Structure 1
Amino acid sequence: MKIISVLGALLLSITIYSQKISGKVTDESNQAISYCSISLENINTSTITDINGNYSIDIPENAKKSDYIIFESNGYDDKKVTVQQITTDAHIKLGKKVNIIPEVSITGKKTKNEALGNTKRPMLTFSKMFDKNVPTIEQGQIFDIYKWTKLNSYNFFIIPSSKFKEITLKLNIYSVKDNLPQQSLLYENIIFKTNTTGWQTIDLQKYKLIYTDLDQLAITLQLVESVPQDNADFVFGISAKKTLSNDLLFRYQSQGKWEASKGSFISNININYMKDKNENTPKNISQTDNNTEDQSLIDYYKNKEKAGKTVYGKNKSGKYIDLKNAKIYYEEYGSGEPLVLLHGNNGSISDFYNQIPDLAKQFKVIVLDTRGQGRSTDLSTEDYTYEKFSDDLLAVTKELNINKFNIVGWSDGGITGLLFTINHPDLVNKLIVVGANLNPEGIETKTLDIFKKQLEIKDVPNQRLIKLMVQQPHIETNQLKTIKNPVLVIAGSNDVIKEEHTKLINSSIPNSQLLIVPDSSHYVPFEKPDLLNKSIIKFLKI
């Protein structure tokens, strides 16, 4: 009998369950709780209550009766109920949280008003779409704030191509840890309805949202209700823009894992603030589409899109060279003196789509994808190093029987070119570097900080490539002094490589020339292709 009872308990714990459960969520006085998040722990199943507190959730077949369903709502204590329990009683009551808000005195102190974030919509944007069938999806971003910040409003831009009669959104605010949302900071729901597209304003004045001793806030939106247009498919999205940092936030349900990706909402928060003398200004203050950095990013992504539509990087004549733990993909164009092109971090052959046609008229152009990038593979697991990239270049040129050649290296490719020339000067005729650096300190602090923050995110894509930029290279100026080859050092006037650093590279190489390209950023090959191509050809033909 004891064995039978044990088996019975075991079967109860593993029994699969598949059914729809409907019920209601209220407070302890039976008042309906609207838009309460409901999710099945560790299973991708979730829903929310409607405005009257009613809900319906599908329990999947892989759920056990002992699995927990979690109910969460701003201002209430979370509640866990097993699948077994909810089938017996689907009426869930949540207890009110004790809301202890410390009194904040500002007597005799004046606050200032500011907008943090994007106050204008740039020319180049993309859309973050919402699914009306998954109301638990949250999307948003992180804002840097002052140590004393009062939120007045949250402003965001709905894409003009959206199609709806009316939508209801729920705004969420979280503290931030390790660059991801951590804990809800709200004690009541903030609900916003609209029937228009374009700029939207959620007035936050009545909620008296004052935050002290926080450096960041995460603000997200949920689509909790929608009314479609007549005879039209529902479409709703928020405008976003590309950035170098992982500022966009997403999670599928309240118990789900937060994900971060490159970009940011076209949104801002209007605040009042007090600032200490030694306090830094938040980095996301009043960014507009007239910003030089924004414009260079717009140009960058436009060029990447154009590059992807060319034959370069996917030519049928392209070949692979097998190394011990990698396959290096390369393409050849033109004839004459060999010229090797090396792209930048997380780039590919196609990044030289503006250079290859002109240079192939004068030289035999060999352009390759660095290991683990483009079409080149990498089976190793250790950290990337520029020395390894240099070794790969040596192996490729030996395989191709190239005994003497020129190098054009852009960004990381320029670093590889410098190291290769230091280590193998007899193989190099002339070297051209564009936007190269000797160490991480040569990168503008703001950009380097972005890369460092990306490394703090668990499972961030391209982690080894980001780590490479943050921790390497380590080239000494006395190493540069050993280079006897002719070198042309190029950088943009608004490059992320500090201008004094570029000038240091030039002054440290005995036979070196310097070209600072006006009105350009780190993306000189994209932004000033004609000037760059002519400069390369002129230098190599001297």
Structure 2
Amino acid sequence: MPFAQAADGAALYYEVRGAGEPLILLSGQANDHRWWDSVRADFEAEFTTVVMDYRGTGASDRPDTDTYSTPGFARDVLTILDHAGIGQAHVYGTSMGGRVAQWVAADHPGRVDRLVLGCTSPGGPHGVERGPEVRRALAQFDADAARRALRELMYTPGWLAGHDGPFHTLGDSSMPAHARRRHLRASARHDAWDALPRITAPTLVVHGTDDLFNPTANAPLLTDRIPDARMHIIPRARHAYFEEFADIATPLVLAFLSKGPGVRPGIRG
């Protein structure tokens, strides 16, 4: 299994598959590389995909140290790209992965060809936070009820009625408590507002209209703040739009990454 070693010595697990230009796929908070399992093969038909386990998840090391932050995860991304011998890549990050991707693109513009930010936020005082009712639902003492609430934030009722899982977007169940807490803190402390204008890569912002987990209002904030950004909003989609609405989202992203005419500045879904 391939591992890269971070500057602090942490072992970072990653996988490389497919053929074509490199594309690194970045998962959501407290999730490992399996987040992308349902759609990864579609990207491998055109790109060399790289997926990774953040520190604290999957097969990567899980240090109980103050090394968890979205800029820190971005440095881990660069460590993996270096270890894989990849100079420049497309970057597609969703949820917390989109927060990490913002730092990769802002701090290392020469390493990013095209950037896709899915269901994510600029964070900080400018970001739009989820509502108190969502926070209460996720913080329920009944673990089964909280997990059910998370599923319903990720997927529409129609999708859940026809899919029993397994769901790879609900968190890595093998994470120790300290890593889960540190992931939550890292995502909550994200604030890339001042860095966003430094992003030079052509950028596609994707979001669902019905995303309450990471409110849709964050999408135009990112689009307006990043110099060469365009936006596509998918009707009825919740947080896991890339899985449930893959028939819309995957061709959209493939067209953008392939530099084809399928996505134009200002497009709205």
Shorter-chain TM-score: which interval?
A: 0.7 to 0.9
- Alignment partner, residue 214 of structure 2: 497
Mapped partners of 1:344, 1:447: distance in 2: 21
1:346 and 2:30 equivalent?
yes
Mapped partners of 1:382, 1:453: distance in 2: 24
Q: CA deviation at 1:338?
A: 0.4
2:198 aligned counterpart, secondary structure: coil
Q: CA deviation at 1:463?
A: 1.5
1:527 and 2:230 equivalent?
no
Letter in 1 for 2:75: D
- Alignment partner, residue 203 of structure 2: 487
Mapped partners of 1:505, 1:381: distance in 2: 31
Whichever structure has more helix as a proportion of its residues is 2
Note if contact 2:5-2:79 (Cα within 8 Å) is conserved in structure 1.
no
Matching of residues 364-403 of structure 1 within 5 Å: 364-382=48-66, 384-403=68-87
Structure 2 alignment gaps of length 5 or more: 141-176, 260-269
Q: CA deviation at 1:500?
A: 2.3
1:473 and 2:159 equivalent?
no
- Alignment partner, residue 321 of structure 1: 4
Deviations 1:337-362 (A, max 9, x none): 00001100111111111221111010
1:489 aligned counterpart, secondary structure: strand
1:378 aligned counterpart, secondary structure: coil
Alignment partner of 2:96 out of 396, 409, 412: 412
Q: CA deviation at 1:432?
A: 0.3
Mapped partners of 2:98, 2:179: distance in 1: 23
Mapped partners of 1:341, 1:332: distance in 2: 11
Deviations 1:73-100 (A, max 9, x none): xxxxxxxxxxxxxxxxxxxxxxxxxxxx
More moved, 432-441 vs 413-422: 432-441
Mapped partners of 2:77, 2:205: distance in 1: 20
- Alignment partner, residue 172 of structure 1: none
Deviations 1:365-397 (A, max 9, x none): 111111111221132411621011011111111
1:513 and 2:230 equivalent?
yes
Q: Which has the higher contact order (CA 8 A, sep 6+)?
A: 2
Matching of residues 356-371 of structure 1 within 5 Å: 356-371=40-55
- The alignment's C-alpha RMSD in Å is 2.1
1:422 and 2:106 equivalent?
yes
Matching of residues 143-542 of structure 1 within 5 Å: 318-323=1-6, 324-382=8-66, 384-439=68-123, 441-446=127-132, 449-450=135-136, 462-470=180-188, 472-476=189-193, 478-495=194-211, 496-542=213-259
Structure 1 alignment gaps of length 5 or more: 1-317
Note if contact 1:339-1:405 (Cα within 8 Å) is conserved in structure 2.
yes
Note if contact 2:56-2:180 (Cα within 8 Å) is conserved in structure 1.
no
Note if contact 1:334-1:363 (Cα within 8 Å) is conserved in structure 2.
yes
Note if contact 1:329-1:369 (Cα within 8 Å) is conserved in structure 2.
yes
Q: CA deviation at 1:398?
A: 1.2
Q: How many residues align?
A: 219
Deviations 1:111-136 (A, max 9, x none): xxxxxxxxxxxxxxxxxxxxxxxxxx
Mapped partners of 1:335, 1:509: distance in 2: 29
Deviations 1:144-174 (A, max 9, x none): xxxxxxxxxxxxxxxxxxxxxxxxxxxxxxx
Mapped partners of 1:363, 1:461: distance in 2: 31
Mapped partners of 1:461, 1:500: distance in 2: 29
CA separation of 1:473/1:533 partners in 2, compared to 1, >3 Å: closer, same or farther? same
CA separation of 1:486/1:329 partners in 2, compared to 1, >3 Å: closer, same or farther? same
2:28 aligned counterpart, secondary structure: coil
1:422 aligned counterpart, secondary structure: helix
CA separation of 1:466/1:479 partners in 2, compared to 1, >3 Å: closer, same or farther? closer
Q: CA deviation at 1:534?
A: 0.4
Deviations 1:417-467 (A, max 9, x none): 01110000011000001111111542212267349958xxxx788211222
Note if contact 2:69-2:187 (Cα within 8 Å) is conserved in structure 1.
no
Q: CA deviation at 1:474?
A: 1.1
Q: CA deviation at 1:321?
A: 1.6
CA separation of 1:383/1:452 partners in 2, compared to 1, >3 Å: closer, same or farther? farther
Mapped partners of 2:217, 2:117: distance in 1: 15
Larger-Rg structure: 1
Letter in 1 for 2:87: N
1:499 aligned counterpart, secondary structure: coil
Mapped partners of 2:202, 2:134: distance in 1: 30
TM-score normalised by length of structure 2: 0.75
Note if contact 1:326-1:380 (Cα within 8 Å) is conserved in structure 2.
no
1:374 aligned counterpart, secondary structure: coil
